[in-house]
């Protein structure tokens, strides 16, 4: 029961919550005073909130999951975690995540975590069936994580930073939907009702638009003297070079999606060597540029 409950929390998905570290890291304040500790509090808060919403989502979808070849092994769908236990754990995690944000960091973080929970639950019980709107809801979850990192540490956020996170998240979510569509031979596909509202051509056009805006906004963030470049203090070239791994990563993901692959961001993060190397290069360049 304990192992099944831990699996139901989907700890592999916690990787998404590292977004809380981006704002203070880019501002060059991550290791100043209590900033790192408060950022860590934000990370744990979002992990708790995400796991709580996953429990309620899996409880809501358990009947459809039981008919799915892969999702039927989820602990709730498989009957390893009872509905009462799932609800009890979800309440504890969701309430705890908000309280931790408020009392462990700032009240602003608590509010953002609460908005994240509300957005995710509204998506789960209603908006997930509305085309395009559901894409925005999932992408909003990524943006709220990044905003949470800024709120926890009182780090001012650049407008271009917000645009990059917003459209980068839309890019990832749209790519996931494209990969979930049935293949041309009729095989594959996910049991997601909203997929019937999308066509491959629409999703590919959306991907191109989102990738273009993401890369353009990142260039502005990296080259604008009020953005990431403002932290360089004579090491601007290292910040400007971060554009290279970002563009390569976007092109690499677009290539995978065009081949019908790369639809799961968490799997890419854990298994795609090109993206892993690109992430390491990007982090190294930012550290040199911002921290010297």
Q: What is the pLDDT of residue 189?
A: 59
- Which tens digit of pLDDT belongs to each residue from 208-238? 999 999 999 999 988 887 767 777 677 889 9
Rounded to whole angstroms, the Cα distance separating 275 from 270 reads 9
Task: For the domain made up of 1-143, give the CATH fold.
Answer: Tetracycline Repressor; domain 2 (1.10.357)
Asked if pLDDT for residue 186 goes beyond 60, the answer is no
Asked if pLDDT for residue 117 goes beyond 70, the answer is yes
Q: Against a cut of 0.85, is the pTM above it?
A: yes
Q: What is the pLDDT of residue 38?
A: 97
Residue with tokens 């509204």: 122
3-state secondary structure of 284: helix
- Which tens digit of pLDDT belongs to each residue from 66-80? 887 788 888 898 889
Structure tokens at 51: 């796991």
Q: Give mean pLDDT, residues 28-42.
A: 92
- Which tens digit of pLDDT belongs to each residue from 230-286? 776 778 899 899 999 999 999 999 998 888 776 677 778 788 899 999 999 999 998
The gap between the terminal CA atoms of the chain, to the nearest Å, is 49
3-state secondary structure of 247: helix
Rounded to whole angstroms, the Cα distance separating 142 from 266 reads 13
Residue with tokens 């596909």: 189
Mean pLDDT of all residues in the chain? 90
């Amino acid at each position: 029961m304990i192992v099944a409950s831990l699996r139901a929390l989907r700890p592999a998905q916690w990787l998404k919550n590292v977004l809380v570290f981006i704002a203070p890291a880019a501002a060059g304040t991550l290791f100043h005073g209590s900033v790192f500790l408060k950022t860590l509090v934000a990370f744990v808060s979002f992990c708790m909130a995400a796991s709580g919403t996953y429990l309620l989502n899996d409880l809501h979808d358990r009947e459809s999951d039981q008919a799915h070849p892969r999702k039927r092994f989820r602990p709730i769908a498989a009957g390893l975690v009872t509905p009462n236990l799932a609800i009890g754990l979800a309440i504890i995690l969701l309430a705890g995540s908000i309280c931790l944000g408020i009392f462990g960091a700032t009240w602003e973080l608590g509010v953002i975590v609460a908005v994240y929970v509300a957005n995710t639950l509204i998506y789960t019980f209603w908006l997930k069936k509305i085309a395009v709107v559901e894409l925005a809801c999932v992408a909003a979850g990524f943006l709220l994580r990044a905003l949470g990192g800024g709120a926890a540490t009182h780090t001012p956020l650049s407008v271009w930073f917000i645009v990059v996170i917003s459209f980068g998240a839309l890019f990832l979510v749209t790519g996931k939907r494209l990969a979930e569509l049935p293949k041309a031979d009729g095989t594959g596909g996910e049991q997601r009702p909203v997929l019937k509202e999308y066509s491959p051509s629409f999703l590919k056009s959306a991907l191109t638009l989102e990738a273009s805006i993401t890369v353009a906004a990142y260039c502005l963030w990296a080259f604008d003297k009020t953005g990431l470049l403002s932290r360089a203090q004579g090491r601007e070239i290292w910040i400007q070079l971060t554009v290279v791994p970002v563009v390569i990563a976007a092109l690499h993901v677009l290539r995978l999606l065009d081949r019908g692959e790369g639809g799961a961001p968490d799997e890419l993060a854990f298994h795609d060597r090109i993206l892993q190397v690109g992430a390491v290069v990007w982090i190294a360049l930012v550290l040199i540029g911002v921290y010297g």
